[in-house]
Structure 1
Amino acid sequence: MSFYQANLAVLAAGNAFLLYRQYKREHKAVDSGSVTKPLTDDADKDEDVSSDIEGDIPGDNVEEIKEAVRKFQWDFFLVYALAVAADWLQGPHIYAIYKYEKAIPERVVAALYAAGFISGAVSASFAGELADRYGRRLACLVYCLMYIITCASMFSNDLRVLFFGRLAGGISTTLLFSVFEAWMITEYHSRGLGRSGLKLSSVFGYMTTLSCVVAIVSGVVGEVLVGYLGGRVWPFVASMVCCFAAAWLMLRTWRENFGVKSVVSTTSLHDVRTGIIAILSDSRVLALGVTSCVFEGAMYLFIFFWSAALKSARLKSGGPAAEEELPYGLIFSCFMCAMMLGSAFFGLFSSNHDRESTTYVLMSVTLLASACLSAAVLLENEMFLFWALCAIEASIGAYFPSISFLKSEVVEDGVRGRVYSILRFPLNVFVVVVHSLDQEGDEHRNRVFMMLAALLMVAFFVVKRNLSTSKS
C-alpha cells in the first residue's frame, strides 16, 4: 500500500468513526424528545419576518417531531447534494478541457478563470437582494439555469461563448454560496424546528460533510465518464442532469420564502445600500465578512497552489520517485476526507453550540490554517507537507459550519440574502487581484502562503475582538 493510499484509509476510518458517533448522538437526542421552548429570541424574529409562510411547527409528540425533522432534511439535503454535485462534477475538468482539448493558450485560460471571479464579484452586489425581494427558491432555480448555461458553453470552441459561460459560472457560484443557505435558515425557523433535537449548527455541519462526500463521489464519477465515454465534456453533461433534477425537486418540495417585504417599492441600489449598511453598522457582521474574505480567499488560492507545492517537494527529494507523477486523484480524495473530518469534529465535539463556543472554533481553525500555511513554506519533505495541507483542509471543514452558524445568529433574516452575497464581493476581488500577480516558481508561491498566513492572523484578532466578548 502506497503512502497516499494508507493515509486515505486512515482518514476514511476516522470519518466513519466520527460520523457514527455523531449519528448516534443526534438520533438519541430526537428519540429522547429533546423538545425545547418554541423558538429562541432570534428565531422568533426570523419567524415574524416570514410570517406569510404557513408554519409546520410540530407538536410535543416525539414521532411528529421526528417526522418534521426527516421531511426538512429530505427536502433540503437532496436538493443541496445535487446542487453541489453539479459544481464538483465539472470543477476538476475545467482547466483540462480548456488547455488540452480546446488547445487554448495559458494566458487566455487565466483570463477565462478571471472572468468567472469578476462575474462573481459583480453579481455579489445584487444577487442577494434580488433573492430577498423576489424569493430565495427562485434564486436557487436561477442557480440551476446559470450552471446549465455554463456547462452547455463547453460544447463550443468559440471564445465568446466560453467567456459567456464563465460569466454565468461566476453568478452561479455566488448563488450557490448564499441563497441556498438563506432559504434553509428561514425554512428551519418557519417549520419550528428549533423545538426539535435538530440544531441549526448541526445542519451546517451536515452541509459541509455532505459536500465532501459528494465531492469524492463526483470525482470518481467524472473520471469514469471521461474514461469510458471519451472526452472531458461528459462530466459537464452530468452536471446539467444534476441541475435539472435539483430544479425539478425544488419545484415539487420547496416553498418560497422572502426577506423583508416593504410596502414601499425600493430600487436595487437602495437594497444594496441597505445590505452594506447592515454590514457596516454591526461590528460582528463586519468581522465575519473580513474573516470569510480572508479564509475563503486563502482556500481558493490553496486549491490553485497545492499541486505545485507537492510536486516541488517531490522533485527536491531526488531519487527515482522524483520522476513519478503524483496521484492527484488520490490526494484530492484525502483532502476531501480531511475536510469531512473537520466537519465531523465540529458536529461531534461542539454539540451545545452557542455564539461563544462557535466563535472559539472559528478562531481555532483560523489560527490552525495560518500556522499550516506558514509550515508549508518551511517544509520540504513531501509527507510532512502533505499532512500540513491535510490540516488546512480539516480546518476548512470546521470553518464552514462555524461561520455559517455565526452568520445565522448575527445577520437579520430580512436582509440575509443580500448581506450574504455582498460579503462575497471582496472575496472575489481579493482572489482576482492575487491571481493577477501570479508568477512561476516556488518563491512566488511561498510569498503568497506567507501573506495568507499573516492575513489569517489578522482575521483571528478581528474575530477575537468583535465576537469573543459578544453576549450569546
Structure 2
Amino acid sequence: MSSFYQLNLALFAAGNAYLLYRQYKREQKPSASAPPPTAAASASGDDDSDRDVEIDGSSAVAASKEAVRKFQWDFFLVYALAVAADWLQGPHIYAIYKYEKQIPEKTVAALYAAGFISGAISASFAGELADRHGRRLACLVYCGMYVVTCLTMFSDNLAVLFVGRLAGGVSTTLLFSVFEAWMITEYHSRGLAASQLKLSGVFGYMTTLSCVVAIVSGVVGDVLVGYLGGRVWPFVASIGCSLGAAWFIVKTWRENFGTKSITPNTLRDVRSGITTILSDSRIFSLGITSCFFEGAMYLFIFFWSAALKSARVGSGGPLADQDLPYGLIFSCFMCAMMGGSAFFGLFSANHNRESAAYVLMSVTLLASACLSAAVVLENEMGVFWALCAIEASIGAYFPSMALLKSEVVEDGVRGRVYSILRFPLNVFVVVVHSLDQEGDEHRNRVFMMLAALLMVAFFVVKRNLGPASK
C-alpha cells in the first residue's frame, strides 16, 4: 500500500512543479499596463528625446525590479526561517512528551490546551502592542519566545514544560499576525503596488514557501532524530532558525507602526479593535470564517491519522495490521496544500476583493464536503483523497483570506485586529478538545459538526463579501 502513497506523492510533486513553472513564465512576461518607453518620444519626432525617454524608461523598470527583489529577499528569507522554527519542532512535541519524558496522556493534553489558552489570551493584546510599539519589534519577540519554548524541552520539570507551552501559544499568535502586518505596511511604503509584484501574489508565495519549508523541515527533523538520537535535536535546529531570523530582522528590516494613541491605554485599544470587528460586517464575517476554517484545520491535524487508520482496519485484508507510512502521507498533504497555494498564485494577477471572496467561498464549501466524505467513505484511498482535497483547500484559503483582510482592515489597526481575530479560534479549539473521547464515533461527530460550521461560514461570506453584498 505504501506504493500507492509514493505514486500520489510523485504525482503531486509533478503537478506542483508544473504550476510553479506556469507561474514563473507568467511573471517573466512584461507588464501590459506599462506603456512602451519610446511611445512619447516617437510622437515628438526627436531622436535624442527618443533615446533619453528609452533610457529613463529602462532605468525605471530596472529600479522597480530591484526594489521588488530587495523586498522579496528581505521578507521571504526571514519568513522562511520563522516558519521553519515552527515546522521543525511541531511534529515532535507529542512524541517527546509522551515517549521520551513518559508524561501521562491527560497531562500531555493539558500541555496542548495550555498553548491554545495562551494563544487566546495573547490574541487580545499582542497585535495592539505591536501596532503601538512596532511590528518589527514584535517579530523579534516572536523569535525570542520561540527560543524560550524550545529551551524548555530540555527540562523534565512539568512547571517548566507548561511555561514552554504558554510561550509557544504567544509565539503562534505573533507568527500569524505581526509578520503579515509588517509585510503589508512595508509593501505599500516601498511603493510596490505599482510594480508587477501584486499583494495577492505575495500571499500565495507565503503559503507556498511555508509548504516547501514544512516538507524540508519534516525530512531534516527525522534525519536529526535518526542520526543524532533523541527528539530534542529538532528543537535545537528550531533555536538556530529563530536566532537566524532575528539576526536578519535586525540587519534588514525597518520598523513600522499602526495608529499610535496620544494617551496609550491597552484595554481601551483592545475595545477599539473589538468595536472595529463588530461594526464592520466584512471583518466580522472574515472572523467567523477564520474561526471555523482554521479551527477545522487544527482539529483535522489532530484526527487525520486516526481517520486513515480506522479506514484501513475497517476494510480488513492483509494490510489491516500494518502501520501507515505517516511520513509519506504528511509529505502528500503538504504537496496538496502547496498545490492549492500555487493554483491561487497562478491566477493572482487577476485577483481582487470579489475574486478572493469567490475563492474563499469555494474552498470553504470544498472543505465542508470533504469532511463529510471522510465520514461516509470507508475505503482508505477514498478517505486519503478526501483529506488531500482538504489540504488543497487550506493552501488556497490562506492567500485568499490574507488578501481579503488586507483589503478590509485599515493599516493603523491591522496588528490588533489580526491578533484579536485569533481569540475565538483558540477558544473554539480548546472547547472542542476538552470534549475529546476515544473512538471513531466521536471523530465522526466532530467532522460533521465542522462540515456544518463551514457551511455557515460559506453563507456568511456570500452575504457580506460576495457579489450580492454590493
Give the TM-score category using the shorter length: over 0.9
> What does residue 326 of structure 2 align with?
328
Correspondences of 1:453-468 after superposition (within 5 Å): 453-468=451-466
Structure 2 equivalent of residue 6 of structure 1 = 7
Please report the RMSD computed on the Cα atoms of aligned residues, expressed in angstroms: 1.5
With over 3 angstroms needed to count, the CA separation of the structure-2 counterparts of 1:138 and 1:335, relative to structure 1, is same
Q: Distance in 2 between matches of 1:60 and 1:22?
A: 25
Q: How far, CA to CA, are the matches of 1:33 and 1:135 in structure 2?
A: 35
Equivalent position of 1:258 in the other structure = 257
Aligned pair 1:204/2:218, yes or no? no
SS across alignment from 1:103: coil
- In the alignment, is the contact (CA less than 8 A) between 1:212 and 1:336 conserved in 2? yes
Instruction: After superposition, give the CA deviation of every residue in 1:114-163 in whole Å (9 maximum; x if it has no partner).
Output: 00000000000000000000000000000001100000000000000000
In the superposition, the TM-score normalised over structure 1's length comes to: 0.93
1:50 matched to which residue of 2? Answer: none
TM superposition shift of 1:26: 1.6
Which residue of 1 is the match for residue 235 of structure 2?
236
Structure 1 residues 311-362: Cα deviation after superposition (integer angstroms, max 9, x where no partner): 0001011121111110001000000000000001111134311111110000
Residue deviations 1:80-110 (CA, integer Å, cap 9, x gap) = 0000000000000000000000000000000
Structure 1 spans left out of the alignment, 5+ residues: 36-57
Identify the residue that residue 438 of structure 1 maps to in structure 2: 436
**Compared CA separation, residues 194 and 232, structure 1 to 2 (3 A):** same
TM-score (norm 2): 0.94
Deviations 1:419-450, CA, capped at 9 Å, x for gaps: 00000000000000000000000000000000
What amino acid does structure 1 have at the position aligned with 2:332?
Answer: C
CA shift at 1:33, angstroms?
7.2
Residue aligning to 2:356: 358
Return closer, same or farther for 1:288/1:226 CA change in 2, 3 Å cut-off: same
Aligned equivalents of 2:113, 2:5: Cα separation in 1: 32
| TM alignment of 1:97-246, pairs within 5 A | 97-246=96-245
Structure 1 residue 60, shift from structure 2 partner: 7.1
8 Å CA contact 2:463, 2:469 repeated in 1 = no
Instruction: Quote how far apart the aligned CAs of 1:61 are.
Output: 1.1
- Structure 1 residue 59 displacement after superposition: 9.8
Counterpart CA distance in 2 for 1:207 and 1:388 is: 24
1:349 aligns with 2:347: yes
Tell me by how many angstroms 1:467 deviates. 0.5
Letter matched to residue 28 of structure 2: H
Report the more deviating stretch, 253-262 or 128-137: 253-262
- State the shift of 1:266 in Å: 2.2
CA contact (8 A) 1:33 1:197 kept: no
Given residue 11 of structure 2, which amino acid in structure 1 is its aligned partner? V
User: In structure 2, what is the Cα distance between the partners aligned to 1:60 and 1:361?
Assistant: 37
Rounded to whole Å, the distance in 2 between the matches of 1:120 and 1:159 is 19
Alpha-carbon distance in structure 1 between the residues aligned to 2:377 and 2:298: 21
The corresponding residue for 2:375 is 377
Instruction: Find the counterpart in structure 2 of residue 275 from structure 1.
Output: 273
Amino acid aligned to 2:337: M
DSSP-derived class of the 2:323 partner: coil
Higher CA-based Rg? 2
Residue in 2 that maps onto 1:19:
20
Displacement, 1:168?
0.1
Q: Does 1:398 align with 2:396?
A: yes
Whether the aligned pair in 2 keeps the contact of 1:120 and 1:425 (CA below 8 Å) is yes
The answer (yes or no) to whether the contact 2:116–2:430 under 8 Å persists in 1 is yes
Paired residues in the alignment total 449
Greater mean alpha carbon deviation, residues 300-309 or residues 318-327 = 318-327
2:386 to 380, 385, 388: 388
Tell me how far apart the structure 2 counterparts of residues 7 and 107 of structure 1 sit (CA, whole Å): 36
Where does structure 1 differ by over 2 angstroms across 4 or more consecutive aligned residues?
A: 32-35, 469-472
Instruction: Give 1:413-424 correspondences, 5 Å limit.
Output: 413-424=411-422
- 2: CA distance, partners of 1:105 / 1:61: 63
Partner of 1:411: 409
- The percentage of aligned residue pairs carrying the same residue is 81
CA contact (8 A) 1:59 1:65 kept: no
Does the aligned pair in 2 maintain the 1:279–1:285 contact within 8 Å?
yes
Match of 1:338 in 2: 336
State the Cα distance separating 1:224 from its structure 2 match: 0.2
Q: Is the 8 A contact 1:350 1:357 kept in 2?
A: no
Please state how far the C-alpha of 1:469 moved relative to its aligned partner.
Answer: 3.3
Partner Cα distance (1:244, 1:33) in 2: 41
